[in-house]
Structure formats: structure tokens, C-alpha cells
Amino acid sequence: MSQANDTRPTLRVIKIGGNVINNADLLQRFLVDISNIEGPFILVHGGGNIATTVAEQMGIQQTLVDGRRITNAETLRVAVMVYAGLINKTIVANLQALNCQAMGFTGADGNLVRSTKRVSTEIDFGFVGDVEVSGINVAKFSEIIHSGTVPVICSITHDGRGTLLNTNADTMAARIAVALASPFQVNLTFCFEQVGVLSEPSNPASLLTTLSKSACENLKATGAVTAGMIPKLDNAFWAFEQGVSSVSICHAQHIASASAKFIGTTLV
């Protein structure tokens, strides 16, 4: 796709995974790297395993149904405290110390991300919110970005009626990227603890530098991509098909690598 005549400004949307957040040294190196990024970006984060630790300290039992975590009222309170409080503000304070003009948000702030409480079917997931592109406040995000501010947004959203909801951070990053692909040329990057998509699990040498949708379907069929990766890849391909200019998956420590020597997987 030629972008020579594309007058939209560029914007990076960067999602960091829980394993980066869980490791204070890795997180700090990541923040140093992104503070050196030229041009505007948005950072999207979840909560790692800190929320689980805090819930255990508070004596709150994690409820699992068919292996899936339920967000009851007490679990939501912990998620809001940990994601929107502890993690979000730790990231913002550290970015500010690196002269990066960051501001931390949930989806409720400025009505940035509105979601819909998931309807119970066989399983009642509790206070979980699903986000559509229409729930992203493009005007407010654009205003914040044009003011020179870096939005740091955690995966807590709201329903517009006063209820906060726990949201999947990968999906949220994909929805934000697609919604902002109208005013911006968006580059979406999912950062996690592996070098990218591997054709052989646990073998970094098997890194696939590019990945097409058909190749991805083959990897799923052979079981080469693990269950945890599949929703991330589905979000990534969905965003790419919906107008995001480029989508990549890489290790957090490779976020700042120039595109010429990018280490990771780029969707094609």
C-alpha cells in the first residue's frame, strides 16, 4: 500500500502485556525506550499478576468457571485499584521523570472508551465490558494527542451509566487503533515476553518476521501457536483488515528498534 500521498499524521498504539508489568526492571527499560519514541503514541496496559496478588492479600477468592476468571464486584474493585491506580500512576510518574508528557486514564475518563457489560449466557462473567469501535471517543483522543500528551490507558472501561467494567486489553488496543485509523496512520504493536510469533513454540530462532492470515491459520491448525496467543493474533489480524496501517508483535525490549532492523513479527 503506497502511503506517499497519505496526509494523515502517524500514531503508534502500543499494548504492553502483563509479563512486562510484572517485571519492574523490564518495565522501566521499556518506559525508557518508549520515552525516546519520536511522534505521538498511546500506551495501553492491563494489570499482570499484581491484581491477583493484591486480591489474595485482601482475602478475595478468585472465581473460575470452566477455567475462565469471573469479575465479581470485589474483583472489579481490586482491578480498578491495581490497573487504574497502582500500575497506571507508576507508569505515568516514571514517564514524567523521563520528560514524557504522559497522562493516565481509564475508559471512563473523558468518556474515552465506553463498553457494554457482557450478557450472561452459560457463564456470567460479571463486570466485564466488551468494546466496539463505536465506543472509542475519537475526538477526545485526538484532542489529547494534538495537545502533545501521551495517553496511558488501562483496560478498565465504563458503560456510561456509572459502572466501571474490566476489559480485555488486547481487544481494547485493537479497537482504539481501528477507531483512530480514520484521522491517523496507525501503527499497532503488541509487546509481550517473546520475540514474536514462533513457528516452533519456545524456540526464538523460529521467529516468523512476517505472518499472513493463511500462514497464521496453518499455525493454529498445527498447534504451533498456543491458546493464549490466538486471541492476540485474532485481534491483530482484525485490526490490520480494518484499516490499521501496520500491525506487529514483538518483545517489549525491541519496541524502540528502528523499522529497518525491527525484531519481531509484522503482519502482511
Applying CB under 8 A, which residues contact a copy of itself?
54, 57-59, 77, 80-86, 88-90, 92-94, 96-97, 101-106, 108-111, 143, 147, 149, 156, 158, 160-164
Shortest separation between residue 7's beta carbon and a copy of itself, angstroms: 25
φ and ψ of 52, to 5 deg: -65, -45
Shortest separation between residue 108's beta carbon and a copy of itself, angstroms: 4
Q: Tell me the three state secondary structure of residue 58.
A: coil
- Output 44 or 181, the one with its CB closest to a copy of itself: 44
Shortest separation between residue 187's beta carbon and a copy of itself, angstroms: 24
- Output 26 or 215, the one with its CB closest to a copy of itself: 26
Shortest separation between residue 249's beta carbon and a copy of itself, angstroms: 29
- Which has the closest alpha carbon to 104: 42, 20, 37? 42
- Output 76 or 244, the one with its CB closest to a copy of itself: 76
DSSP class of residue 52 equals H
CB atoms under 10 Å from CB of 46, counted, come to 25
C-alpha span between 257 and 212 (Å, rounded): 22
Per-residue burial over 143-156, b if 16 or more Cβ lie within 10 Å, else e, is ebbeeeebbbbbbb
- Output 156 or 207, the one with its CB closest to a copy of itself: 156
C-alpha span between 123 and 178 (Å, rounded): 29
Residue whose C-alpha cell is 485482601:
58
- Output 163 or 242, the one with its CB closest to a copy of itself: 163
- Output 127 or 237, the one with its CB closest to a copy of itself: 127
Shortest separation between residue 117's beta carbon and a copy of itself, angstroms: 13
φ and ψ of 66, to 5 deg: 50, 40
Shortest separation between residue 84's beta carbon and a copy of itself, angstroms: 4
User: What residue type is assigned to position 89 of the chain?
Assistant: K
β-strand pairing of 150-154 with 102-105? parallel
